[in-house]
Amino acid sequence: MAFSAFASTPAAAGPVVRRRSWIALVLLLPGILYLLLFFITPLISLVFTSFQQPVINGDIGQYSAGFQWSNYTDSVVQYLPLILRAFGYALLATLLALVISYPLAYFIGVKVRGFPLVQSLLLTLVIAPFFISFLLRTLAWKQIMSDEGPIVVGLKALSIFPSDGHITGTPFAVIFGLTYNFIPFMTLPLYATLERLDVRFIEAGNDLYASPFTTFRKITVPLSLPGIVSGTLLTFIPAAGDYINASGDFLGSAQTSMVGNAIESNFLVTQNYPVAAALSIVLMAVILIIVGFYVRRAGTEDLI
Amino acid sequence: MAAGTFAEKGADLELVGITKTFPGFTAIRSLDLFIPAGSFFALLGPSGCGKTTTLRLVAGLEEPTAGRIVIGGKDVTSTKSFQRPVNTVFQSYALFPHMSVLENVAFGLRRRGIASPLEKAHEALRLVELDHLAARRPAQLSGGQQQRVALARAVVNRPALLLLDEPLGALDLKLRRQMQLELKDIQTEVGLTFLHVTHDQEEAMTMADTIAVMNRGEIEQMGAPEELYELPRTAFVANFLGQSNLFTGEVVSSTPDALTVASAGQQLVIPSARAPRRSGTVTVGVRPEKLLLLTAPPAAPSSGVNVLGPGRVIDVSFSGVSTQYTIAVPGIGDVIVFAQNMVFGPVVHVGAEVWVSWNVEHGFGLEDSPAEAAAGVADAASAAGADGDVATSALTTVKA
Ligand SMILES: Nc1ncnc2c1ncn2[C@@H]1O[C@H](COP(=O)(O)OP(=O)(O)O)[C@@H](O)[C@H]1O
Ligand SMILES: [Mg+2]
């Protein structure tokens, strides 16, 4: 009788393990279904759309299934400047956001570590812009930087700015808008790593003759690389596809159009769905390639 | 110091009136300290007494609230940490997690532009017997191995002043002994100055030329190991550095040669030269291994010998080389005797009536007032309790 208690243990091990994997599968099911329904399905549909051809003598916006590879070549050739501009602007905005966010995140995560109240207050301030709609904030900046706004008027009064100068509609305004709108996505991951940074490593660096700058370069930056990588990705990816900041209705003009604006106008204005779909897929592919190389170079898995 | 070269020899260190106050807590109280160049100096004290804080002040990782720090004749009080000719073996190791063991050790050499840093780093790793793990990351090493890497990373720089914060605490006994010898070798070979922090009194006594015993942010006593052991000045030192039997009583006679103290009706004599306080209520002591156990009262009270008793043996604890007897003496309290095992096993058993005696010249007097002595005994007892170290536990009674 007493021995049966021991004997039953190995016998039970099999079913227990199998039941565990069942539970895992059941728990994963909603996620898998969700991805299938809301990511894979539209993606397949997008790929099909990108190869569609116009219906002869059909209405505007009427297309039939086909394999029109020229959708890709034509749209890339036509919109190459916009594609390059999108990545250029996104890159600049990401770098600016990094330069602004790093000291900010360092201050909140390391310097005021002993004062949790100050820390939460500053973090709240960082995410406070999210309490207002993205569109409204960008419109507000449009007004501030408009030709009748205080900045332009003031600069003109001081004769720093030519009398026919503008801020809105320039690359400056668009990059400014992108930087401003995505800064919290940079600051928060940076804060999350810097908050856990062990300052004893910095002290050890100082003790081993490294100047503050060398310590920063050799110790602080490598140790906060996971935050830098996720922050730059979270900023760069949405910034590259953004079409609000660069649009003429907000901070941009025809001269600052990014690939997102081309996708938007093809989808919603000219109803040229295949070109819009092809551009979307090109944008996605380029981002994937860039991110792949970037993550590889940064060697995050090596660091953690 | 010149870039690209090692320190030629050690530098002396002088702390003048150093005070360090954290918000609401004073960790160091007007500390004065002089460590001559080329010496091996140990700072010994219970955990929380301010040893690490002292090292951090010297390394420049903490700014003193008051006072000056002078290294090699130069006032470095306002000098930044990376400009001081000092390296630290951190209590927490603080090895850089994103670098290999080898790069960790080469870090300081590279910063100072020393020639062939990797070669020298390998050499330092061989010294701590870890060269075969040079390519690993610190996280892939055991605690003891990490501690040795931390040691190599500091020693490889041959700094004029090396600060060691409990650098051998994570090593097992055999490796600790070996590292102690190697540290001592490095120190004498190059003539560097070592400031070694430890709470292990045996380590301090075997390695250091000079020991400073620290308690509650102050140095209680400083001197050569034998001097500190044979002539402790405070109850804390008497019990933190080994064990002592302490007796408190009134001075009944004082001559240039001898001081006689009456404690619970028993007369105890100590040499006047070994008694800083010579009137009123004083505390005198004797080390347990100086005591002789007698099973009969001494025939004739001879001068030059103190006798206590009769008392009753209440505990016998055999430890191979020696046996520790605890004897309850009425009116005095518990007295500890360490006796060499000259015969097989203990010579008396629990319940036996015994007397203890010791040579007058082995006794010592404390500077402490009776109240200070009681506080010192309590501090040493709690320090021993916190360390879980039976050998240093203070089994002493102070009877006012
Ligand atoms: N940054 C700090 N803020 C407040 N108190 C501190 C700080 N650093 C150390 N202390 C306190 O100072 C005392 C001495 O600490 P420390 O020098 O680390 O002791 P130890 O002798 O064990 O090395 C301790 O009571 C500790 O709590
Ligand atoms: Mg410490």
Q: How far is B318 from chain A (nearest CA, A)?
A: 44
Is A257 within 8 Å of chain B by CB?
Answer: no
Instruction: Decide which of 3.50.50.60, 3.30.70.2860, 2.40.50.140, 3.10.310.70 is the CATH code for B231-398.
Output: 2.40.50.140
pLDDT at B152: 94
pLDDT at A16: 57
**Numbered ranges of CATH 2.40.50.140 in chain B:** 231-398
Q: How far is A209 from chain B (nearest CA, A)?
A: 4
CA B24 to centroid of ligand 1, rounded, Å? 12
Give the class (CATH, top level) of B13-223. Answer: alpha beta
Q: Does residue A255 sit within a domain?
A: yes
**Does residue B25's CB lie within 6 angstroms of at least one atom of ligand 1?**
yes
A184 is in which domain, residue-wise?
A: 79-303
Is A303 within 8 Å of chain B by CB?
Answer: yes
Kindly determine whether residue B108 and residue A208, on different chains, have CB atoms separated by under 8 Å: yes
Is B80 within 8 Å of chain A by CB?
Answer: yes
Kindly determine whether residue B107 and residue A223, on different chains, have CB atoms separated by under 8 Å: no
CA B318 to centroid of ligand 2, rounded, Å? 34
Q: Closest residue (by CA) to atom 11 of ligand 1?
A: B27
Q: How far is A120 from chain B (nearest CA, A)?
A: 22
Judge contact between B153 and B95, C-beta under 8 A: yes
pLDDT at B320: 86
Q: Which residues of A226-260 are buried (b: 16+ CB within 10 A; e: fewer)?
A: bbbbbbbbbbbbebbbbbbbbbeebbbbeebbbbb
Is A203 within 8 Å of chain B by CB?
Answer: yes
ipTM: 0.84
Query: What parts of chain A have a pLDDT lower than 50?
Result: 1-13, 301-304
Q: For every residue of A221-239, which 3-state class applies, written as one string?
A: HHHCHHHHHHHHHHHHHHH
Q: Does residue A17 sit within a domain?
A: no
CA A12 to centroid of ligand 1, rounded, Å? 53
pLDDT at B394: 37
pLDDT at B3: 52
pLDDT in tens, chain B (400 residues): 445 678 778 899 999 999 999 999 999 999 999 999 999 999 999 989 999 999 999 999 999 999 999 999 999 999 999 999 999 999 999 999 999 999 999 999 999 999 999 999 999 999 889 999 999 999 999 988 999 999 999 999 999 999 999 998 888 888 888 888 888 888 888 788 999 999 888 899 989 999 999 999 999 999 999 999 999 999 999 999 989 999 999 999 999 999 999 988 888 999 999 999 988 999 999 999 999 999 888 877 677 899 997 899 999 998 888 899 999 999 888 999 999 888 877 788 899 999 999 999 999 999 988 888 889 989 888 887 654 443 333 333 443 3
pLDDT at A57: 85
Mutate to test the pocket of ligand 1, among B18, B31, B52 (most ligand atoms within 8 A of CB): B52
Give the CATH number for residue A192. 1.10.3720.10
Cis peptide before B36 (omega within 30 of 0): no
State which residue of chain B sits closest to A219, comparing Cα positions: B96
Enumerate the residues of chain B whose CB falls inside 8 A of the CB of residue A214.
111
CA gap B321, B134 in Å, rounded? 42
Q: Does residue A21 sit within a domain?
A: no
Kindly determine whether residue B97 and residue A223, on different chains, have CB atoms separated by under 8 Å: yes
Q: Does residue A13 sit within a domain?
A: no
pLDDT at B398: 41
Judge contact between A80 and A92, C-beta under 8 A: no
CA gap A238, A227 in Å, rounded? 17
Positive/negative CA dihedral, A203, A209, A211, A213: negative
Q: Does residue A4 sit within a domain?
A: no
Enumerate the residues of chain B whose CB falls inside 8 A of the CB of residue A301.
none
**Numbered ranges of CATH 3.40.50.300 in chain B:** 13-223
**Does residue B27's CB lie within 6 angstroms of at least one atom of ligand 1?**
yes
Is A251 within 8 Å of chain B by CB?
Answer: no
Q: Does residue A52 sit within a domain?
A: no
CA gap A219, B88 in Å, rounded? 17
Q: Does residue A165 sit within a domain?
A: yes
CA B227 to centroid of ligand 1, rounded, Å? 29
CA gap A1, B89 in Å, rounded? 61
Listed in sequence order, the residues at least 6 apart from B166 whose beta carbon sits closer than 8 Å to its beta carbon are B91, B197, B198, B199
**Does residue B53's CB lie within 6 angstroms of at least one atom of ligand 1?**
yes
Q: Closest residue (by CA) to atom 24 of ligand 1?
A: B48
Kindly tell me the burial class for residue B283, based on how many C-beta atoms sit within 10 Å of its own C-beta (0-12, 13-18, 19 or more). Answer: buried
Which of B81, B112, B157 shows the shortest C-beta gap to A206?
A: B81
Which of B61, B111, B153 shows the shortest C-beta gap to A214?
A: B111
Q: Closest residue (by CA) to atom 4 of ligand 1?
A: B22
How many separate domains does chain A show?
1
CA gap A228, A217 in Å, rounded? 13
Q: To probe the interface with B, which of A193, A200, A202, A208 has the most B CB atoms within 10 Å?
A: A208
Listed in sequence order, the residues at least 6 apart from A245 whose beta carbon sits closer than 8 Å to its beta carbon are A138, A174, A177, A178, A181, A251, A252
Q: Does residue A233 sit within a domain?
A: yes
Q: Which atom of ligand 1 is nearest to the CA of B46?
A: 21
pLDDT at B384: 74
Angstrom CA distances, A261 to A92, A168, A287, B392, stand at 18, 16, 17, 78
Q: Closest residue (by CA) to atom 3 of ligand 1?
A: B22
Enumerate the residues of chain A whose CB falls inside 8 A of the CB of residue B86.
207
